[in-house]
Amino acid sequence: MDIESVGVIGAGQMGNGIAHVMALAGYNVVLNDVNQTALDTALVQIHKNMARQVSREKITQSTMDTAIARIQTSLSLTDVGATDLVIEAATERESVKQAIFDDLLPHLKPETILTSNTSSISITRLASRTDRPERFMGFHFMNPVPVMQLVELIRGIATDEPTFTACQRVVERLGKTSASAEDFPAFIVNRILMPMINEAVYTLYEGVGSVKSIDESMKLGANHPMGPLELADFIGLDTCLAIMNVLHDGLADTKYRPCPLLTKYVEAGWLGRKTQRGFYDYRGETPVPTR
């Protein structure tokens, strides 16, 4: 399976990052979204991020110009269907992802590989609703995509070896490292990371420490580059809660019960950096803890 063109569905933070690295690696990219403003914003962000790479001499201006020219934006799934590999990077809700695949299927080439950038949802279940479960797998990038070196490749129960090998080659061409994960809730990274973040929220909820003391303790005491609450704000508290719910529902273990304070922040619409408030308030010049 030779992959030369890639369709990316969803032009948000993950989608524009995936389009960015794919274009730099020489793939022709179709970036799709239901919203033209989201596509325009994504192109601005990709340009900004590549320009930063040029300023740091990671890439040349010529490389950037060539990569930008490889990215086509589209509101139509028909354009996505003509690509060799599709990476769905929409909201982390199974109903949304399933609806996208349902709409996309009539437009696909027979040989197109379907993948999802989901961070927690069952690949086997998503694949079972398509016409190609053997050519469907999880292709989970870390955020921010241009910086992070790992990609989790998740086989569903029906995923065949040529599909896995083809996706592994794509990761190699990106200059990243792949980790093979089995299809269990939250896979590897989030199976370990999210309960740690959830426990940090419980530590705050129970009054063991403040936002500042919890984050400083983990940065200076465990040598983490970011504190767990700062990291939760970066990821998005709604995403953290969604993954904890997948773990809790999928594994039926009380140790994965989402902290009530995490739920409360999401109910308030305080989702972290993207809404300017989470465990920190980002509306001023420097972030200020909200508890």
Note the pLDDT of residue 56.
Answer: 96
pLDDT, mean of residues 111-119: 96
pLDDT band with cut points at 50, 70 and 90 for residue 48: very high
Our CA dihedral for 97, 100, 104, 105, rounded to 10 degrees, sits at: 50
Q: Which residues are catalytic?
A: 119, 140, 152, 190
Per-residue pLDDT of 78-96, as tens digits, reads: 999 999 999 999 988 899 9
Note the pLDDT of residue 92.
Answer: 85
User: 1.10.1040.10, 3.20.20.150, 1.10.10.60, 3.40.50.720: which CATH number matches 191-289?
Assistant: 1.10.1040.10
Residue 7, marked binder? no
Note the pLDDT of residue 106.
Answer: 96
Q: What percent of the chain is predicted at pLDDT more than 70? A: 100
Token pair 């730099």: residue: 24
Asked if domains 5-182 and 191-289 share a fold, the reply is no
Token pair 């996309």: residue: 104
Token pair 């086509």: residue: 72
Taking CA atoms, 120 is separated from 9, 160, 181, in Å, by 17, 21, 11
Q: Please count the other Cβ atoms lying within 10 Å of the Cβ belonging to residue 88.
A: 23
Angle (CA) 267 230 280, round 5°: 55
Note the pLDDT of residue 237.
Answer: 97
Q: Are 248 and 258 in contact (CB under 8 A)?
A: yes
Note the pLDDT of residue 1.
Answer: 73
Residue 269, marked binder? no
Residue 33, marked binder? yes
Please determine, for residue 190, whether its predicted confidence score (pLDDT) is greater than 80: yes
Per-residue pLDDT of 220-272, as tens digits, reads: 999 999 999 999 999 999 999 999 999 999 999 999 999 999 999 999 999 99
Please determine, for residue 45, whether its predicted confidence score (pLDDT) is greater than 80: yes
Per-residue pLDDT of 124-155, as tens digits, reads: 999 999 999 999 999 999 999 999 999 999 99
Nearest to 201 by CA among 229, 166, 233: 229
Note the pLDDT of residue 91.
Answer: 87
**What gap in Å lies between CA 85 and CA 209, rounded to an integer?**
46
Residue 97, marked binder? yes
Per-residue pLDDT of 24-39, as tens digits, reads: 999 999 999 999 999 9
What's the CATH code, domain 5-182?
A: 3.40.50.720
| Amino acid sitting at position 204 | L
Q: Are strands 5-9 and 288-289 parallel, antiparallel or unpaired?
A: unpaired
pTM, to two decimals? 0.90
Note the pLDDT of residue 120.
Answer: 87
Spell out the domain ranges in the chain.
5-182, 191-289
